[in-house]
Amino acid sequence: MPRYGFVIDLKRCYGCYSCQVACKAENCTPKGIDWARCIQAEVGQYPSALRQMLPTVCMQCDDPACMTVCPTGATTKDENGIIQVDKKLCMGCKYCIMACPYGARQVVANWETYFPDAPGDLDPYEAYAKKRWEEGRAGYGMATKCDYCMHRVKEGRNPACVDACPAKARYFGDLSDPESEISILIRRERGFQLNPEFGTNPSCYYLPPR
Amino acid sequence: MRTEGSRTNDSGWIYTSCGGCYGQCGIRVKKENGVVVKIEGNPDTPAGSGRICAKGSAQLMTLYDRHRINYPVKRTNPEKGVGVDPKWERVSWEEAFDTIVTKFKNMKDPRGAYFQATTVQTSEIRFAVPAFMKAWGFKNYWVSGGGLWCGNGAHFMNGIMHAAWSIIPDWNYNKYTIYFGCSKGHGAGHAALQTAQWVADARAKGMKAVVFDPFLSTQASKAHEWVPIRVGTDAAAALGMVNVILNDLKIWDAHYLKQKTNAPYLIKADGCYVRDPETNKPLVWDLSANKAVPFDAYEMSLDVNPDLALEGEFKVNGTVCHPSFQLFREHVKKNYPLDKVEKITSVPKSTLRRIATEFAEHAQVGSTIVVKGKRLPLRPSAAIFFRGSQGHVNSGWNCLSIDLLNQILGAADVPGGSMGHGPPVSHGHPATGKPNTIPYACPDGLLIVKGWVYDHKPYPLHEPGPPQRLDLQDMFPCSVYNAFTICTPEWEKYLKDFKIDYRPEILINFGSNSVMTMANARDVTENFLKKFDFILSFNIYQNEFTEAVADIVLPDTCYLERYTPCVTFPSTFCHPTGMDDWVWQIRQPVVEPLFERRDFNEVMLEIAKRLGIQDKYYEAINNIIPIRYGGEMDPKYRLDPKGDYTWQQVVDNVLKDRLGPDKGLEALKKTGLEKWPAKVEETYWRWFAPVRVPIYFEYFIEGGQKLMKVLKSFGREDIVDIRFYTPLAEWFPCPSHENASGEFDLWAFCWRPSFHTQSSTQNNPWLDEVSVKDPFVYLIQINEQTGKKKGLKDNDIIWIENPDGKRIKGPVKLVQGMHPEQLGIAGCHGHWARGTPVSRGKGVFYDDLINPDLKHTDSLTQGTDACVKVKVYKAKEGEI
């Protein structure tokens, strides 16, 4: 069984937010919900300061803190290492949101339109997106998160953020295969996990910015 | 909600072209049961190769934006002005057409019409705008984004030097790039998706990038080195580095200079060429023969290295003369020593010297490479520029000076060097030989572009003469449009002084929001827009422009609802630069236009028909196509002036004419594109095209003299500073550089985030969501140490005021990535229109600081200066 993983090359990323918006478009996430975020901050002092870009996804940890704290058993890890949230079991207690050291989970109470100042019904796309959100694996009042676009992966495609990335800074593949592209990149290009000291063994690796 | 598109239950992918910015990458659009549900990159096109940026994905929210205009409306409030409520009232298309036609028919003088259009829909403006202008008989236009967001300096200079609209490094081979005020490869709409991959690949292979920028931009952050520079001093930095390379390092590409530039042309005391008395050809000095010979005495070839003088003093028929290269070298030595350059730019001279040295060494002058069987020079150094360099009084010379770094090293349109973006040279589709855009030489041997975006080519210079246009633009030799005439209270005086015998009457606006993109909103509105009797506007949103001044607003389609025959030619911003295939991409509707929206080109055709000028309109299109799309039209596909065409039929004719009879609209709708292989002679065209470029701009002397003669005849020599018409590259200061007042102690400038396009994307809620979370876009960035000295902290609301008393307000972010004497603002934000509630009040409206008057205008290109000296102070309690 493959253990799916990500490699994000910080050398290549230039912080354009294409991943974040592509994820929203692919997964019809409601207002305020971003499963693939691009966090940006300035580091260092003038004149050698830098803008650091840090794109994130769910780390799909091997030892996920979110799963340990889940009181209902809604959070599980599937055979590919993807952390799933069972819509029927999640009661929205948000323990997992507190527990996840990477801020990968969000909860949304209901569908808010992106056009609150416009009168009338939702536009055809928002109506479609709302329906897909409600009928899909996520929903309201429950923990939601990135699942590496498993619906695309099952069709043999990459997660949406990987295919969108203009700089080709994102790679998706099988961590359990030492000859996969991502395993080779991690080995050869000093791949690292974010905050390994949290002890969750993330499936998302980063390549250093310099 | 009635949406015609959802009446059809079609599902599947449709292949078309993005319209989120002028890059126009290839996309595919997914529909489910008639609803557009996803936009992705088209994996089959070299214009993007399947990738998509934030703006592209987010266009779904523009297609279905519930704030879009769905029906024609008319203004019922007679008052016009910034912030006025127009009190729109819905009208029928028939009433709108009747009003428009009546207004045109009742014009006092047809010349009093004016077109204003957006550069975001750059492919759409190439038909209806010029066709209607020619058919109705007027010459006035403004391309929004011009002056401030786009413009005269960069495109004009790139046309002269690279036959192109813009330049970009050849990242396939480049090892060293110097950026001045541009973000190519980092989200700028210059083949955005392809170049993002290539620059990342190049960095991974060790390409070194150095970014001169007043602030820590995205590209500066990704570069090996950020060099904070004082705004608007780019030419001084570039010429200082040219000085180091030519006079200290003594490195130049003599072969290139002799064969591909006018460096060997002999110059006499008056600054002009020494010419052959019989043929009038410029002369060069043949060292072997020890005599002057015509510039074209030797075959132009990589294999021929003629023994021509680049230095020395010679006498031709008793006239003392010098090769222009010698004059240029002496000029930079005398006028751009590093001590002086350091004072102008604030960049330490040791830094300038080191970067100049690295740049010259990386150029590997003398090296060659074989690409697809052709031996070519390899010059892996490039210096590039764009908006940041040109938005100054020294607009034209800033751009030219930077490109001279490339030219002295032969690093132009050869592997590794600076490349005309496009590429500009196309031999055409194998079936038709069109578009054919091979540059050719003027009698003096200098490059003339073949295909060009507007009618007046950048070279030969436009012949100055008594102006016909309302902005006097046709009087100037080097530019396309200006703001200093039309946007100032002096407009009427200019019209009187220059004996213009008609006045502005009707403005037709396509998609532009000039109230936010020309200069200070009130200057633009009061001095320019309110002078029109009637304003007709095509828009997808009611914006600051329509609310301030439009009389009738027509609901335009967005790019997902319309046909466009071609987005990738003229090849300005779409094609990557390299050996990738050529692609001809169309735009086709992915849904039928929703509500009563109608396509701009279709409506203008209808207006032309109702005015009874469709014959002239068709004839104008027949004349436009060869200029824009390189090559004469097959008579079979020319529009019959007596015919009756729909817009789709026009599109079909264009496609069959350029690509062959089997490549009409129906054929191209299946894949959205047609591809064919690129040749080495096209991509790396420099040594294959028999043309030279100037390093010495001799013809500016004559251009300037002719202009002054015209100005003198009207008693207005005061509107041009003749010093700008010099043959040798110069840095001229902006008013901001000369304002010594201690009170105005900061320079303000604006920048562009990669996830917005000019003023057109801020109402997109997905992009707004990104902007809210981004740490910079909606805030005023000030260097932390500077800010603290002024008692500022994050999120303080401050006023920024210029010496004319114009001021803007917004929240502060103290940052490290900012030159200590400057402040930066993301441009085109801070909307206030009722029609765009998502964007209202977000960010800061920079342009209100810009004074578009004569003193802020480049005398050479008439571009507008966008840097401002300011003072900042905290807003009072009641002002927040």
- Residues of chain B in contact with residue A189, where contact means CB-CB under 8 angstroms, are none
- Contacts for B103 with CB less than 8 Å, ≥ 6 apart: B506, B533, B534, B536
| Cβ pair B53:A51 closer than 8 A | no
User: pLDDT value at position B6?
Assistant: 39
Strand order in the sheet with B266-268: B266-268, B319-323, B314-316
Partners of residue B673 on adjacent β-strands: B585
Give tens-digit pLDDT for B472-509. 999 999 988 899 999 999 999 999 999 999 999 999 99
B830-852 pLDDT, tens digit per residue, is 999 999 999 999 999 999 999 99
Residue A135's contacts (CB-CB under 8 Å, 6 or more residues apart) are none
pLDDT-based confidence at residue B2 (cuts at 50, 70, 90):
very low
Q: Which residues of B touch A208 (CB under 8 A)?
A: none
What is the structure's pLDDT at B739?
76
What pLDDT is stored for residue B148 in this prediction? 64
Q: What number is the average pLDDT over the span B589-603?
A: 96
CB pairs under 8 A between A and B: 168
Return the H-helix or E-strand segment holding B285: strand B283-286
The confidence score (pLDDT) of residue B4 equals 40
**Mean pLDDT score, B90-95:** 98
CB proximity under 8 Å: A 54-113 to B: none
Nearest CA in chain B to A30: B766
State CA B178 to chain mean position distance.
Answer: 19
Which of B51, B60, B816 lies closest to A44 in CB terms?
A: B816
**pLDDT of res. B164:** 93
The tens digit of pLDDT for each residue in B117-128 reads 998 888 888 899
Predicted local confidence at residue B146, as pLDDT: 59
pLDDT at residue B190 in the model: 86
B783 to chain A: nearest residue by CA? Answer: A46
Name chain B contacts of A29, Cβ cutoff 8 Å.
Answer: none
Q: Which of A9, A18, A131 to mutate to test the interface with B (most CBs of B within 10 A)?
A: A18
pLDDT in tens, A85-105: 999 999 999 999 999 999 999
Name the B residues in 809-838 with CB < 8 Å from any A CB: 815-818, 820, 837-838
Token pair 């030279």 is found at B692
Contact B41 A163 (CB under 8 A): yes
Whether A29 contacts chain B with CB within 8 A: no
Helices (H), ranges, chain A: 18-27, 65-69, 95-99, 124-135, 150-153, 160-164, 181-188
Q: Tell me the per-residue pLDDT of A123-155, one tens digit each, with 9 for 90 and over.
A: 999 999 999 999 999 999 999 999 999 999 999
CB-hemisphere CA count at 13 Å for A18? Answer: 29
Q: How far is CA B504 from CA B39, B138, B554, in A?
A: 42, 11, 21
Establish if B190 touches chain A: CB-CB under 8 angstroms. Answer: no
Cβ pair A20:B54 closer than 8 A: yes
Beta strands in B54-196 (DSSP E): 73-75, 88-90, 113-118, 140-144, 167-169, 176-180
B318-338 per-position pLDDT tens digit: 999 999 999 999 999 999 999
Q: Indicate yes or no: CB of A123 within 8 angstroms of CB of B53.
A: no
Q: Residue for token digits 């253990």? A: A3
Q: Is A120 on the interface with B (CB under 8 A)?
A: yes
Partners of B800 in the β-ladder: B808, B872
Any idea what the Cα angle at residue B95 is, between residues B91 and B101, rounded to 5°? Answer: 135
pLDDT at position B373: 96
Q: With cut-offs at 50, 70 and 90, classify the pLDDT of residue B147.
A: low
| Interface with chain A: mutation pick from B59, B816, B822, highest number of A CBs within 10 Å | B816
Spatial neighbors of B725 by CB under 8 A, at least 6 apart, are: B700, B701, B703, B704, B705, B707, B859, B860
Share of chain A above pLDDT 70, in %: 100
Type of residue found at B770: V
Which residue of A lies nearest to B64 if distances are taken between CA atoms? A123
What are the tens digits of pLDDT across the range B10-25?
A: 899 999 999 999 999 9
In this prediction the ipTM stands at 0.98
pLDDT of residue B481: 84
Q: What angle do CA B302, B308, B309 make, to 5 degrees?
A: 135
Does A147 touch chain B if contact means CB atoms closer than 8 Å?
no
Check residue B877 and give its pLDDT. 86
Average pLDDT of the residues in B754-767: 95
Residue B32 half-sphere exposure toward CB, CA atoms < 13 A: 10
Q: What is the mean pLDDT of residues A42-71?
A: 96
Chain A residues with CB under 8 Å of B816 CB are 42, 44-46, 49
B64 to A22: CB separation less than 8 angstroms, yes or no: no
Helix B128-136 vs helix B614-628: angle between axes, to the nearest 10 degrees? 130
Measured between beta carbons, the chain B residues lying within 8 angstroms of A169 are 200
Is pLDDT at B240 greater than 60 in this prediction? yes
Residue given tokens 């003599």 in the structure block: B254
Whether the per-residue pLDDT at B151 is higher than 80: the answer is no
User: CA nearest B859: which of B666, B725, B686?
Assistant: B725
Helix/strand number for chain A, H first, E second: 7, 10
**What is the biggest distance separating any 2 CA atoms in chain B, rounded to whole angstroms?**
84
Pairing of strands B208-213, B176-180: parallel
pLDDT at position B453: 81
- Predicted confidence (pLDDT) at residue B187 exceeds the cutoff of 90: no
User: Is residue B856's pLDDT more than 50?
Assistant: yes
DSSP-based helix, strand, coil % in chain B, nearest 5: 30, 20, 50
Backbone angles phi, psi at B536, to 5 degrees: -110, 130
**Chain A residue numbers touching B192 (CB-CB < 8 A):** 166
Q: Which amino acid is at B471?
A: D
pLDDT (mean) for B138-165 = 85
pLDDT score, position B149:
62
- Whether chain A has a CB inside 8 Å of the CB on B53: the answer is yes
Name the minimum distance, in Å, from the CA of A9 to any CA of chain B.
10
Q: Do B754 and A16 touch (CB under 8 A)?
A: yes
Q: Is B196 on the interface with A (CB under 8 A)?
A: yes
Q: Which two tokens stand for residue B366?
A: 């003398």
pTM for the model stands at 0.97
Contact at CB, A21 and B838, closer than 8 angstroms: no
Distance from CA of A42 to the nearest CA of B (A): 7
Provide the 8-state DSSP code for B527.
I
Say yes or no for a CB contact (<8 Å) between B52 and A22.
yes
Beta bridge partners of B749: B824
Instruction: Tell me what pLDDT residue B879 has.
Output: 84
Q: Any chain A CB within 8 A of the CB of B66?
A: yes
- What mean pLDDT is reported for chain B? 95
Q: Are B196 and B401 in contact (CB under 8 A)?
A: no
pLDDT at B49 over 80: yes
